[in-house]
Amino acid sequence: MKYLWFMIFGLLVAGCQPVAPEQGVVADPLPSWNDGAAKQAIVGFVAKVTEAGGPDFVPVSERIAVFDNDGTLWTEQPYYVQLAFAMDRVAAMASDHPEWRSQQPYRAALEKDLHGLSKSGVAGLLELIMATHSGMTTEEFTRIASAWIDTARHPRFNVRYQDLVYQPMLEVLSYLRSNGFKTFIVSGGGVEFVRPWAEQVYGIPPEQIVGSSIKTVFEVRDYGPVLVRLPEMDFLDDKEGKPVAINKHIGRRPVAAFGNSDGDLQMLEWATAGGGPRLGVIVRHTDGEREWAYDRDSHIGRLDKALDMAEDSGWTIIDMKKDWKKLFPFETE
């Protein structure tokens, strides 16, 4: 009879809880991270803000974490992925624009001449973006961007761009979410370029993607209402723009912010200056072998002032080479 009661108790417990695959062993939530200060800072932060009754407890509704995209969640070298997209769009559209063969910045884009492109400056880049990202409905643009991201390949790694997301950062996203955080992307890139694939790749839904945008206008056509993309900037979500966009879209100050360049400086400042526990993290590109090594002198993803401010501000620096066991999901360890 005693045995039977044990059985009953055993059945009750077994019936109510999933059996852990390795009982007594807690799986490492960040398996692609080497043990070190960066991993400790992230795990320590999560432990303290989720400790019920603890002095640093943060209610679930305030667990907002923001992530830059280019260079923080995926590779941004040898050029921003969205620039690769724009150059490919110029090539695809060139037959309708014979004048582009002799006109900058289009010629440079057609020849993938980055030096020539950089001579056109920000104005040239904006012209390229407007020519390739506007003049269609939002749904047409989503189809074009989705088709491209599903097939285009990175010039160095020869894999799809969406395979060049950082595995350790995917683990951080997932780890934060499993601890009640809402994760947001706050990108300098175009919001409608990131949204079509971010849910599948990062687990972040469209409504949690904040980014740069061009203006759209509502039109009713024969077949129904559409939003048409205009060749006009609406908002540049970079530098001082990031806290502005966070306030506009999210409406609360994040408790954790992850970036990699001076474009993320104000976002890091804004997030970490709030009261209570705060986590500011900079992904530093130190691995010239597995990826790229660049900081103060880079034209893409320059990390200079934010690096100077990191120590005084208590921001954590991820040293990609030392802290990450693997960079990309496709690598075998």
Determine the Cα–Cα distance for residues 167 and 153; give it in Å rounded to an integer.
18
Instruction: Please count the CA atoms within 13 angstroms of the CA of 174 that sit on its side-chain side.
Output: 15
Rounded distance, CA 238 to CA 223, Å? 37
209 binds a second copy (CB under 8 A): yes
* Residues between 219 and 238 with contacts to a second copy, criterion CB under 8 A: 220, 224-225, 227, 234
Residue 37 touches a second copy, criterion: CB under 8 A: no
Binding residue count for a second copy, defined by CB under 8 A: 43
**218 binding a second copy? (CB under 8 A):** yes
201 is a site residue for a second copy (CB under 8 A): no
Q: Could you say which of 32, 261, 266, 286 contacts a second copy (CB under 8 A)?
A: 266
Of the residues 240, 276, 296, 305, which one makes contact with a second copy according to CB under 8 A: 240
The interface with a second copy within residues 128-157 (CB under 8 A) comprises 138
**Residues numbered 180-199 forming contacts with a second copy, rule: CB under 8 A:** 182, 184, 191-192, 195, 199
244 binds a second copy per the rule CB under 8 A: yes
Task: Indicate the residue type of 312.
Answer: D
Q: Is 305 in the site for a second copy (CB under 8 A)?
A: no
Q: Least distance in Å: CB of 235 to a second copy?
A: 9
83 to 102: interface string for a second copy, x by CB under 8 A: --------------------
Among candidate residues 96, 267, 93, the one with its CA nearest the CA of residue 185: 267
Q: Does 256 bind a second copy (CB under 8 A)?
A: no
Buried b (16+ CB within 10 A) or exposed e, 85-122: bbbbbbbeebeeeeebeeebbbbbbbeeebeebeebee
Angstrom CA distances, 26 to 21, 30, 31, 42, 169, stand at 10, 12, 12, 17, 20
CB of 34 to a second copy, least distance (A): 33
Is there a contact between 159 and 318 (Cβ–Cβ < 8 Å)? no
**Which amino acid is present at 305?**
K
CB atoms within 10 A of CB 318: 28
For residue 238, the minimal CB distance to a second copy (Å) is 12
> In this chain, which of 101, 153, 248, 305 binds a second copy, going by CB under 8 A?
248
| Of the candidates 332, 282, 328, 333, the residue with the CA atom closest to the CA atom of residue 161 | 328
Residue 32 vs 272, nearer CB to a second copy: 272
Nearer to a second copy, 168 or 241 (CB): 241
3-state class (DSSP) for residue 22: coil
Torsion of CA 184, 186, 192, 198, to 10 degrees: -40
Q: Which residues bind a second copy (CB under 8 A)?
A: 4, 7-8, 11-12, 15-16, 61, 64, 138, 182, 184, 191-192, 195, 199, 205-209, 213, 216-218, 220, 224-225, 227, 234, 240, 243-244, 247-252, 266, 269-270, 273
